[in-house]
Amino acid sequence: MATTASSLLPRRQPADDQQLLRLFWNRAELKRELERLRRDNERLLDQLRQQENAGLRSRQRLEQLENLLADPLAAANALVHYQLRGVWQLARKHLLRFARELGERQQEREEQLAREHFARLRGNALAAIDNRLAEVERRLRVVQMDLAIVDKQRGCLRGFWNWSRRRALQDQAAAIHAALDGLRLQVADIEAERRLREAEPCPSFPGLSVEARRHINLALIAMAQQLLIHFSRHDVARLARDASAQGLAEAGYGDVMQCQQLTRNIREVMAGADAIDGMAALVRHRAEWLRGQVAYRRDADTVPLAEALAVIPLEPPTLGDSDGEAASLAVNVLGEEYWDLYGILLP
Protein backbone atom coordinates (compact mmCIF):
# COMPACT_ATOMS: atom_id res chain seq x y z
CA MET A 1 0.00 0.00 0.00
CA ALA A 2 2.84 2.37 0.96
CA THR A 3 4.62 1.49 -2.21
CA THR A 4 1.54 2.28 -4.22
CA ALA A 5 1.11 5.65 -2.47
CA SER A 6 4.69 6.66 -3.02
CA SER A 7 4.44 5.77 -6.65
CA LEU A 8 1.47 8.09 -6.99
CA LEU A 9 3.31 11.12 -5.47
CA PRO A 10 5.19 13.39 -7.90
CA ARG A 11 8.94 12.91 -7.86
CA ARG A 12 11.52 15.69 -8.31
CA GLN A 13 13.46 14.96 -11.43
CA PRO A 14 17.28 15.46 -11.60
CA ALA A 15 16.70 18.03 -14.32
CA ASP A 16 14.66 20.11 -11.86
CA ASP A 17 17.55 20.02 -9.37
CA GLN A 18 20.00 21.20 -12.03
CA GLN A 19 17.64 24.02 -12.98
CA LEU A 20 17.33 25.15 -9.36
CA LEU A 21 21.11 25.06 -9.00
CA ARG A 22 21.56 27.17 -12.14
CA LEU A 23 18.99 29.66 -10.89
CA PHE A 24 20.85 29.92 -7.57
CA TRP A 25 24.21 30.58 -9.25
CA ASN A 26 22.62 33.00 -11.71
CA ARG A 27 21.11 34.91 -8.81
CA ALA A 28 24.50 35.12 -7.05
CA GLU A 29 26.15 36.22 -10.29
CA LEU A 30 23.48 38.88 -10.82
CA LYS A 31 24.05 40.20 -7.29
CA ARG A 32 27.79 40.48 -7.93
CA GLU A 33 27.18 42.21 -11.26
CA LEU A 34 24.70 44.58 -9.62
CA GLU A 35 27.24 45.45 -6.93
CA ARG A 36 29.90 46.11 -9.58
CA LEU A 37 27.52 48.35 -11.53
CA ARG A 38 26.65 50.22 -8.34
CA ARG A 39 30.34 50.88 -7.65
CA ASP A 40 30.90 51.99 -11.25
CA ASN A 41 27.90 54.31 -10.99
CA GLU A 42 29.23 55.88 -7.78
CA ARG A 43 32.66 56.31 -9.35
CA LEU A 44 31.20 57.96 -12.44
CA LEU A 45 29.03 60.23 -10.30
CA ASP A 46 32.10 61.23 -8.29
CA GLN A 47 34.00 61.98 -11.51
CA LEU A 48 31.04 63.99 -12.77
CA ARG A 49 30.99 66.04 -9.55
CA GLN A 50 34.72 66.65 -9.87
CA GLN A 51 34.30 67.74 -13.48
CA GLU A 52 31.45 70.05 -12.52
CA ASN A 53 33.56 71.59 -9.75
CA ALA A 54 36.50 71.98 -12.13
CA GLY A 55 34.21 73.59 -14.71
CA LEU A 56 32.83 75.94 -12.06
CA ARG A 57 36.33 76.97 -11.02
CA SER A 58 37.29 77.50 -14.66
CA ARG A 59 34.24 79.70 -15.24
CA GLN A 60 35.05 81.68 -12.11
CA ARG A 61 38.63 82.20 -13.25
CA LEU A 62 37.41 83.19 -16.69
CA GLU A 63 35.04 85.73 -15.18
CA GLN A 64 37.84 87.09 -13.01
CA LEU A 65 40.11 87.32 -16.05
CA GLU A 66 37.40 89.08 -18.07
CA ASN A 67 36.90 91.58 -15.26
CA LEU A 68 40.64 92.01 -15.01
CA LEU A 69 41.15 92.60 -18.72
CA ALA A 70 38.35 95.12 -18.74
CA ASP A 71 40.63 97.39 -16.70
CA PRO A 72 43.68 98.46 -18.81
CA LEU A 73 45.88 99.03 -15.75
CA ALA A 74 44.99 95.68 -14.18
CA ALA A 75 45.46 93.96 -17.55
CA ALA A 76 48.92 95.51 -17.96
CA ASN A 77 49.95 94.40 -14.47
CA ALA A 78 48.59 90.89 -15.10
CA LEU A 79 50.58 90.63 -18.33
CA VAL A 80 53.80 91.58 -16.53
CA HIS A 81 53.00 89.20 -13.69
CA TYR A 82 52.57 86.19 -15.95
CA GLN A 83 55.59 87.11 -18.05
CA LEU A 84 57.70 87.16 -14.89
CA ARG A 85 56.30 83.80 -13.83
CA GLY A 86 57.25 82.57 -17.31
CA VAL A 87 60.83 83.69 -16.67
CA TRP A 88 60.84 81.75 -13.40
CA GLN A 89 59.43 78.62 -15.03
CA LEU A 90 61.90 78.84 -17.91
CA ALA A 91 64.88 79.01 -15.55
CA ARG A 92 63.46 76.20 -13.44
CA LYS A 93 62.89 74.06 -16.54
CA HIS A 94 66.54 74.54 -17.56
CA LEU A 95 67.68 73.49 -14.10
CA LEU A 96 65.43 70.41 -14.06
CA ARG A 97 66.69 69.30 -17.46
CA PHE A 98 70.30 69.95 -16.42
CA ALA A 99 69.78 67.92 -13.23
CA ARG A 100 68.28 65.03 -15.18
CA GLU A 101 71.12 65.01 -17.72
CA LEU A 102 73.81 65.20 -15.03
CA GLY A 103 72.14 62.47 -12.98
CA GLU A 104 71.80 60.12 -15.95
CA ARG A 105 75.41 60.64 -17.07
CA GLN A 106 76.80 60.25 -13.56
CA GLN A 107 74.71 57.17 -12.85
CA GLU A 108 75.79 55.56 -16.12
CA ARG A 109 79.42 56.33 -15.26
CA GLU A 110 79.17 54.98 -11.71
CA GLU A 111 77.27 51.89 -12.81
CA GLN A 112 80.01 51.17 -15.36
CA LEU A 113 82.69 51.65 -12.70
CA ALA A 114 80.75 49.37 -10.33
CA ARG A 115 80.49 46.68 -13.02
CA GLU A 116 84.21 46.96 -13.78
CA HIS A 117 85.05 46.82 -10.07
CA PHE A 118 82.87 43.75 -9.59
CA ALA A 119 84.41 42.07 -12.65
CA ARG A 120 87.90 42.85 -11.32
CA LEU A 121 87.08 41.43 -7.88
CA ARG A 122 85.49 38.35 -9.43
CA GLY A 123 88.50 37.88 -11.71
CA ASN A 124 90.86 38.07 -8.73
CA ALA A 125 88.70 35.62 -6.78
CA LEU A 126 88.56 33.20 -9.74
CA ALA A 127 92.34 33.46 -10.15
CA ALA A 128 92.81 32.59 -6.47
CA ILE A 129 90.40 29.66 -6.83
CA ASP A 130 92.24 28.47 -9.95
CA ASN A 131 95.54 28.59 -8.04
CA ARG A 132 94.06 26.48 -5.25
CA LEU A 133 92.60 24.07 -7.79
CA ALA A 134 95.91 23.78 -9.63
CA GLU A 135 97.72 23.04 -6.36
CA VAL A 136 95.24 20.31 -5.36
CA GLU A 137 95.36 18.79 -8.86
CA ARG A 138 99.18 18.79 -8.69
CA ARG A 139 99.04 16.95 -5.37
CA LEU A 140 96.48 14.58 -6.88
CA ARG A 141 98.84 13.72 -9.73
CA VAL A 142 101.72 13.16 -7.30
CA VAL A 143 99.61 10.81 -5.18
CA GLN A 144 98.43 8.98 -8.32
CA MET A 145 102.07 8.48 -9.29
CA ASP A 146 102.79 7.16 -5.78
CA LEU A 147 99.90 4.72 -6.14
CA ALA A 148 101.19 3.55 -9.52
CA ILE A 149 104.62 2.90 -7.97
CA VAL A 150 103.10 0.95 -5.09
CA ASP A 151 100.94 -1.10 -7.47
CA LYS A 152 103.98 -1.87 -9.59
CA GLN A 153 105.94 -2.95 -6.53
CA ARG A 154 103.08 -5.20 -5.44
CA GLY A 155 103.00 -6.79 -8.89
CA CYS A 156 106.68 -7.64 -8.68
CA LEU A 157 106.38 -9.45 -5.36
CA ARG A 158 105.55 -13.11 -6.06
CA GLY A 159 105.68 -16.08 -3.75
CA PHE A 160 104.46 -16.72 -0.26
CA TRP A 161 107.70 -15.45 1.25
CA ASN A 162 106.76 -11.91 0.08
CA TRP A 163 103.36 -12.07 1.74
CA SER A 164 104.23 -9.67 4.55
CA ARG A 165 105.75 -7.17 2.12
CA ARG A 166 102.70 -7.40 -0.14
CA ARG A 167 100.47 -6.86 2.90
CA ALA A 168 102.43 -3.75 3.85
CA LEU A 169 102.19 -2.43 0.29
CA GLN A 170 98.46 -3.22 0.27
CA ASP A 171 97.99 -1.15 3.44
CA GLN A 172 100.04 1.62 1.86
CA ALA A 173 97.89 1.48 -1.29
CA ALA A 174 94.71 1.69 0.83
CA ALA A 175 96.06 4.81 2.54
CA ILE A 176 96.94 6.30 -0.85
CA HIS A 177 93.43 5.52 -2.14
CA ALA A 178 91.95 7.31 0.89
CA ALA A 179 94.19 10.31 0.18
CA LEU A 180 93.10 10.24 -3.46
CA ASP A 181 89.43 10.23 -2.44
CA GLY A 182 90.03 13.24 -0.20
CA LEU A 183 91.88 15.11 -2.95
CA ARG A 184 89.18 14.34 -5.52
CA LEU A 185 86.57 15.62 -3.07
CA GLN A 186 88.60 18.81 -2.66
CA VAL A 187 88.77 19.20 -6.46
CA ALA A 188 84.98 18.78 -6.73
CA ASP A 189 84.39 21.30 -3.93
CA ILE A 190 86.74 23.86 -5.47
CA GLU A 191 85.19 23.41 -8.92
CA ALA A 192 81.71 23.90 -7.43
CA GLU A 193 82.96 27.02 -5.62
CA ARG A 194 84.38 28.31 -8.91
CA ARG A 195 81.09 27.74 -10.74
CA LEU A 196 79.19 29.60 -8.03
CA ARG A 197 81.63 32.50 -8.05
CA GLU A 198 81.62 32.68 -11.85
CA ALA A 199 77.80 32.68 -11.97
CA GLU A 200 77.45 35.30 -9.23
CA PRO A 201 75.51 38.27 -10.66
CA CYS A 202 76.69 41.82 -10.34
CA PRO A 203 74.93 43.41 -7.33
CA SER A 204 72.29 46.01 -8.03
CA PHE A 205 73.47 49.61 -8.20
CA PRO A 206 73.08 51.17 -4.72
CA GLY A 207 72.67 54.70 -6.06
CA LEU A 208 74.90 57.68 -6.61
CA SER A 209 77.68 58.19 -4.11
CA VAL A 210 77.79 61.20 -1.80
CA GLU A 211 80.70 62.61 -3.79
CA ALA A 212 78.78 62.25 -7.07
CA ARG A 213 75.69 63.95 -5.65
CA ARG A 214 77.83 66.79 -4.28
CA HIS A 215 79.41 67.18 -7.70
CA ILE A 216 75.99 67.35 -9.39
CA ASN A 217 74.60 69.77 -6.80
CA LEU A 218 77.53 72.14 -7.20
CA ALA A 219 76.97 72.10 -10.96
CA LEU A 220 73.28 72.88 -10.39
CA ILE A 221 74.14 75.74 -8.03
CA ALA A 222 76.60 77.05 -10.61
CA MET A 223 73.89 76.88 -13.27
CA ALA A 224 71.42 78.65 -10.95
CA GLN A 225 73.95 81.43 -10.40
CA GLN A 226 74.61 81.70 -14.12
CA LEU A 227 70.87 81.92 -14.79
CA LEU A 228 70.52 84.63 -12.17
CA ILE A 229 73.34 86.62 -13.77
CA HIS A 230 71.61 86.32 -17.13
CA PHE A 231 68.21 87.40 -15.79
CA SER A 232 69.59 90.06 -13.44
CA ARG A 233 69.40 92.70 -16.17
CA HIS A 234 66.62 95.19 -15.45
CA ASP A 235 66.13 93.38 -12.11
CA VAL A 236 64.08 90.71 -13.90
CA ALA A 237 65.36 87.84 -11.72
CA ARG A 238 64.23 89.47 -8.46
CA LEU A 239 60.87 90.44 -9.93
CA ALA A 240 60.39 86.90 -11.22
CA ARG A 241 61.13 85.52 -7.76
CA ASP A 242 58.54 87.85 -6.21
CA ALA A 243 55.97 86.91 -8.87
CA SER A 244 56.51 83.20 -8.18
CA ALA A 245 55.71 83.71 -4.50
CA GLN A 246 52.62 85.91 -4.82
CA GLY A 247 49.27 85.75 -6.52
CA LEU A 248 47.90 87.96 -9.23
CA ALA A 249 45.87 89.96 -6.73
CA GLU A 250 49.11 91.07 -5.04
CA ALA A 251 50.85 92.05 -8.28
CA GLY A 252 51.60 95.74 -8.69
CA TYR A 253 54.16 97.00 -11.20
CA GLY A 254 53.07 100.60 -11.67
CA ASP A 255 51.02 102.40 -14.29
CA VAL A 256 50.46 101.26 -17.86
CA MET A 257 53.63 102.95 -19.15
CA GLN A 258 55.75 101.35 -16.47
CA CYS A 259 54.21 97.95 -17.19
CA GLN A 260 54.91 98.36 -20.90
CA GLN A 261 58.54 99.21 -20.14
CA LEU A 262 58.81 96.14 -17.92
CA THR A 263 57.35 94.02 -20.70
CA ARG A 264 60.01 95.32 -23.09
CA ASN A 265 62.73 94.58 -20.52
CA ILE A 266 61.46 91.05 -20.02
CA ARG A 267 61.32 90.41 -23.75
CA GLU A 268 64.86 91.72 -24.12
CA VAL A 269 66.13 89.35 -21.44
CA MET A 270 64.12 86.42 -22.77
CA ALA A 271 65.44 87.04 -26.28
CA GLY A 272 68.90 86.00 -25.07
CA ALA A 273 67.63 82.92 -23.23
CA ASP A 274 68.83 80.67 -26.04
CA ALA A 275 72.37 81.41 -24.89
CA ILE A 276 71.66 79.46 -21.68
CA ASP A 277 72.27 76.18 -23.51
CA GLY A 278 75.80 77.36 -24.35
CA MET A 279 76.78 77.98 -20.74
CA ALA A 280 78.37 74.55 -20.19
CA ALA A 281 81.96 75.82 -20.03
CA LEU A 282 81.00 78.71 -17.72
CA VAL A 283 79.04 76.37 -15.46
CA ARG A 284 81.96 73.90 -15.24
CA HIS A 285 84.39 76.68 -14.36
CA ARG A 286 82.00 78.14 -11.79
CA ALA A 287 81.36 74.69 -10.25
CA GLU A 288 85.11 74.07 -9.91
CA TRP A 289 85.49 77.43 -8.20
CA LEU A 290 82.56 76.70 -5.88
CA ARG A 291 84.14 73.41 -4.86
CA GLY A 292 86.88 75.34 -3.11
CA GLN A 293 84.44 77.76 -1.45
CA VAL A 294 81.66 75.63 0.04
CA ALA A 295 81.49 73.58 3.21
CA TYR A 296 79.17 70.84 4.46
CA ARG A 297 77.70 70.37 7.91
CA ARG A 298 78.18 66.59 7.96
CA ASP A 299 80.21 64.11 5.91
CA ALA A 300 76.99 62.57 4.57
CA ASP A 301 75.47 65.90 3.47
CA THR A 302 75.21 66.59 -0.24
CA VAL A 303 73.86 70.17 -0.09
CA PRO A 304 76.45 72.76 1.00
CA LEU A 305 75.87 75.38 3.66
CA ALA A 306 74.16 78.41 2.16
CA GLU A 307 76.45 80.85 3.99
CA ALA A 308 79.27 80.25 1.50
CA LEU A 309 77.05 81.29 -1.43
CA ALA A 310 76.17 84.81 -0.31
CA VAL A 311 78.00 86.47 -3.22
CA ILE A 312 78.01 85.57 -6.91
CA PRO A 313 81.10 86.74 -8.83
CA LEU A 314 80.12 87.67 -12.35
CA GLU A 315 83.30 85.97 -13.53
CA PRO A 316 84.58 83.26 -11.16
CA PRO A 317 88.26 83.83 -10.32
CA THR A 318 90.82 81.38 -11.59
CA LEU A 319 91.33 78.61 -9.06
CA GLY A 320 93.73 79.83 -6.40
CA ASP A 321 93.14 83.49 -7.31
CA SER A 322 91.51 85.56 -4.56
CA ASP A 323 90.82 88.79 -6.40
CA GLY A 324 88.48 90.69 -4.09
CA GLU A 325 87.87 93.46 -6.65
CA ALA A 326 85.90 91.29 -9.10
CA ALA A 327 82.35 92.43 -9.86
CA SER A 328 79.72 90.40 -8.06
CA LEU A 329 76.05 90.17 -7.09
CA ALA A 330 75.02 90.00 -3.44
CA VAL A 331 72.44 87.28 -4.04
CA ASN A 332 72.31 83.85 -2.40
CA VAL A 333 70.59 81.51 -4.86
CA LEU A 334 70.40 78.76 -2.25
CA GLY A 335 69.43 80.84 0.76
CA GLU A 336 66.83 82.81 -1.21
CA GLU A 337 65.86 79.64 -3.11
CA TYR A 338 65.98 81.07 -6.58
CA TRP A 339 64.38 78.85 -9.26
CA ASP A 340 63.12 76.51 -6.49
CA LEU A 341 66.69 75.27 -6.24
CA TYR A 342 66.30 73.29 -3.01
CA GLY A 343 63.65 71.12 -4.61
CA ILE A 344 65.94 70.31 -7.54
CA LEU A 345 69.16 69.49 -5.67
CA LEU A 346 69.86 65.82 -4.98
CA PRO A 347 69.42 64.82 -1.32
> For the range 172-180, what are the long-range contacts, defined as Cβ-Cβ under 8 Å and sequence gap of 24 or more?
173/147, 176/143, 176/146, 176/147, 176/150, 177/147, 179/143, 180/140, 180/143, 180/144, 180/147
pLDDT at 321 over 80: no
Helices (H), 157-232: 163-199, 210-231
Question: Hey, is 313 helix, strand or coil?
Answer: strand
The Cα 142–Cα 210 span in angstroms is: 54
- pTM of the predicted model as reported, rounded to 2 decimal places: 0.70
Length of the chain: 347
Burial of 185 (0-12, 13-18, 19+ CB in 10 A): exposed
The Cα 55–Cα 35 span in angstroms is: 30
The mean pLDDT value for 224-245 works out to 93
Question: Hey, is 126 helix, strand or coil?
Answer: helix
For residue 83, give the H/E element and its range. helix 72-156
Angle 331-332-335 (CA atoms, 0-180°, nearest 5)? 145
* Residue-level pLDDT at 9: 47
* Residue-level pLDDT at 61: 73
The Cα 303–Cα 218 span in angstroms is: 8
Please report, as a single letter, which amino acid is at residue 37.
L
Radius of gyration of the chain (CA): 42
The Cα 15–Cα 81 span in angstroms is: 80
Band the pLDDT of 8: cuts 50, 70, 90. Answer: very low
Q: What is the DSSP letter of 127?
A: H
Could you report the per-residue pLDDT of 9-25, keeping only the tens digit for each? 455 555 666 776 676 67
Band the pLDDT of 1: cuts 50, 70, 90. Answer: very low
Neighbours of 318 (CB within 10 A): 11
Instruction: Determine which of 294-298, 305-309, 325-329, 342-346 has the lowest per-residue pLDDT on average.
Output: 325-329
Q: What are phi and psi of 154, to 5 degrees?
A: -65, -35
User: Cα dist. 161→116, 158, 165, 257 in Å?
Assistant: 68, 8, 9, 132
On whether the CB atoms of residues 111 and 204 are closer than 8 A, the answer is: no
Neighbours of 20 (CB within 10 A): 11
* Residue-level pLDDT at 156: 76
Half-sphere exposure (CA, 13 Å, Cβ side) for 233? Answer: 15
Could you report the per-residue pLDDT of 45-97, keeping only the tens digit for each? 888 888 888 888 888 777 776 776 778 888 889 899 999 999 999 999 999 99
Q: What is the DSSP string of 27-63?
A: HHHHHHHHHHHHHHHHHHHHHHHHHHHHHHHHHHHHH
